[in-house]
Structure 1
Amino acid sequence: MSEDKDLMLNIQMRFPKLSKGQKLIAEYILKHYDKAAFMTAAKLGTTVGVSESTVVRFAIELDFSGYPKLQKALQELIKTKLTTVQRIELSDNLINQENALKGVLKADMDNIRATLEKINHKTFESVINRIFSSRKIYIIGLRSSTALADFLGFYLNLILDNVQVVQLGISDIFEQMINITDEDLVIGIGFPRYAVRTIEALSYAKTKGTKIVAITDSLLSPLAAKADYTLIAQSNMASFVDSLVAPLSIINALIVAVGLREKEKISNTFKELENIWEEYHVYAYKKED
């Protein structure tokens, strides 16, 4: 299917030709797609009163290779629409108190594995080149992505001297970006549910001819629609908490790649910082015997 939003229309159009059991599945998905997205084929079958094999045949009838593909399409459809309260209600289908540690760690491992498979290495190298060729680098990530933006900004500021993290605060984000030009670079970070202000900031930068990098979860993301370069990091949720493990790995890779090109400079910087940290007791140092 070309776009996830076509899924409901596809089910409605094929409804008259479905078998009796398949119609029960279709009706349930049309009414409760938010719940169906996190059910196994067996669970969905039990819920509507049909066999697991009927659920699998229903997915194939919709031109999916199997039920997992249909389930993924449903999850893509809802992940930008679920409220936090709905996520909490649905999390019982994904994870529970007894297996929270194992379940979350496994989900994060799956996200990193999927990100490694999806990431475009040429795009990644192009982003590194653009970072070094830009007059100034603006980083923006709001809501749950604020931590990612701050982390990227913290380390890039130790390596480069032209980095600014755009933040919500006393001044509006547009005031912080007022001097942006086509010689600059904006790195926008956002995952479902996408922060409107981040999207607006990228739109504003685009009107100035500024090159844009999006670190987001999909090429269908509203951030990707504004971007010249898109780095995809999978962030499928295990519960009501957004998974930022894979995005943070991408950001770590960016920092390391930039640092490797400025190895001598950062070596001198950190030598000086070590002296400052020791003098002003920034970190706990082990006392000499």
Structure 2
Amino acid sequence: MADQDEGGNLLHQISRRASSLSPALRGVADVILANPEDAQSLSITELASRAGVADSTVSRFLRELDLDGYNQLRLGIAQAIYSRPAAADQRATWVYEGVLRGDSREQILEKVLHGSVEALHRTAERLDPAVLDDAAERIHAASCIYFAAMGSSATSAENAIMRFVRAGKRCLFFRDQSIQSMGSATAGEGDVLIAISDSGDSTPIVSSAQIAKFHGAFVLGVTSNIDSALAAVVDSVVLTAGTVASSDVYGESVTGKWGQLLAIDALYATYAARYYEETADYLQASYLAAIKPTRGTGSTH
């Protein structure tokens, strides 16, 4: 993201430069400056609509400000919102998504909760039922579902495996990145690879997606960044809402994963509803074989 001056932030930069922008770009700036809190939760399409311009105009706005991408714009807005006036030698330190050094326990809980709820709401708004329906159909026809994920996104992949294995689907996921790539090379026609990356720019995940697609597998990307390298490679994209008040240092947060988990559950629910009869049979069989024996004699859960 563009460097910020010693006493400024992204909103200050936008305000200073607004008058020199073209009318279309100035319209984007006006929407952001009028209500930064609202603007930081908008998708690129929603921001463009508010400004009465095309998505490509917002992309030009990002380039004009030397921003790396739309997530960097939302990050900069969030940082500006949460910044606190202080002497240069006493400025609060950014330690987590919207959380500053010195925040009270109550403030920390409120900010983390707010970020989590917002991530769920924004993801629900971005999920496309048609994309989920098509993905569910391809998963049903697949001989095997492969997963590519790293870092905390691996948790989302493991959640998906638990869902789909119980529904009777064969799944493969290796935490080792080299083996992930090898596994992707064994995928072929009739297989599905689900590549999960919040940023969409994790090189190993993009590579696995490219390999699987080269070998004929259907590749589904789960990412918050429609302009990412992953989104450009895959056959279909399930869009989530990623972190908006984080940084490269603190990017591996739970807030960014709520969107992934919601998207995975929505995909599974779509699959289970469409193929109810066989899914119900597999759920019953897996419960009797693997879950019921682990429960205490008097347990009803």
TM-score, normalised with respect to structure 2: 0.67
Question: 2: CA distance between counterparts of 1:112 and 1:267?
Answer: 27
Matched, 1:222 2:239: no
Q: Does 1:283 align with 2:282?
A: no
CA shift digits 1:85-115 (9 cap, x unpaired): xxx9424782234311111111122122222
Match of 1:127 in 2: 135
CA distance 1:114–1:92, change in 2 (3 Å): closer
Query: Identity rate of aligned residues, in percent?
Result: 16
2:167 and 2:41 map into 1 onto residues whose CA distance is 43
Q: For the structure 1 residues 56 and 204, does the alpha-carbon distance in structure 2 shift closer, same or farther, using more than 3 Å as the test? A: same
- Find 2:204's aligned residue among 197, 205, 219: 197
Structure 1 CA distance, aligned partners of 2:144 and 2:286? 23
The AA in structure 2 aligned to 1:119 is L
Q: How far did residue 265 of structure 1 move?
A: 2.6
* Equivalence for 2:147: 139
- Which structure would you say has the larger RCO, counting Cα contacts within 8 Å and 6 or more residues apart? 2
Cα deviation for residue 194 of structure 1 reads 4.0
Instruction: Specify the alignment match of 1:36 in structure 2.
Output: 9
CA–CA separation in structure 2 for the residues paired with 1:180 and 1:130: 14
Note the alpha carbon deviations across 1:131-168, whole angstroms, 9 max, x for none.
12333221111111000001101110111333222331
The residue number in structure 2 matching 1:262 is 275
Per-residue displacement from partner, 1:165-212 (whole Å, max 9, x unpaired)?
Answer: 23317x722332332213321110001384321111011112223221
Q: CA deviation at 1:32?
A: 6.6
* Mapped partners of 2:169, 2:41: distance in 1: 46
**1:90 aligns with one of 87, 94, 105:** 94
CA 1:273–1:223 in structure 2 vs 1: closer, same or farther (change >3 Å)? same
Q: Summarize the Cα distance change of 1:285–1:274 in structure 2 as closer, same or farther, 3 Å threshold.
A: farther
Output the CA distance in 1 between the equivalents of 2:94 and 2:211: 36
| TM-superposition CA deviations, 1:43-71 (whole Å, max 9, x none) | x59xxxxxxxxx64644654223323599
Contact 2:167 2:279 in 1 (8 A): yes
2:261 to 241, 248, 261: 248
Q: Secondary structure at the match of 2:152?
A: helix
Q: Hey, what's the Cα distance between the residues in 2 that align with 1:136 and 1:70?
A: 39
Equivalent of residue 124 in structure 2, options 116, 126, 151: 116
2:72 pairs with 1:77? yes
Q: Distance in 2 between matches of 1:269 and 1:242?
A: 31
Rounded to whole Å, the distance in 2 between the matches of 1:256 and 1:71 is: 26
Aligned residue identity for 2:196: I
Q: Secondary structure at the match of 2:226?
A: coil
Q: Secondary structure at the match of 1:102?
A: helix
Cα–Cα, structure 1 residues 57 and 117, in superposed 2: closer, same or farther, change >3 Å?
farther
Q: Scaled by the length of structure 1, what TM-score is found?
A: 0.69
Q: Residues 168 and 60 from structure 1, CA distance in 2 versus in 1: closer, same or farther, beyond 3 angstroms? A: farther
Query: For 2:194, what is the secondary structure of its paired residue?
Result: strand
SS of structure 1 residue aligned to 2:172: strand
Distance, in Å, in 2 between the alignment partners of 1:59 and 1:32 is 20
- Distance in structure 2 (CA, Å) of the matches to 1:218 and 1:117: 14
What is the CA-CA distance between 1:264 and the residue it aligns to? 2.4
CA distance in 2, matches of 1:195, 1:160: 30
CA contact (8 A) 1:115 1:232 kept: yes
Residue ranges of structure 2 left out of the alignment (5+ in a row): 43-61, 76-91
Report the Cα distance in structure 2 between the residues aligned to 1:188 and 1:278, rounded to whole angstroms: 28
Q: Match of 1:185, as an amino acid?
A: V
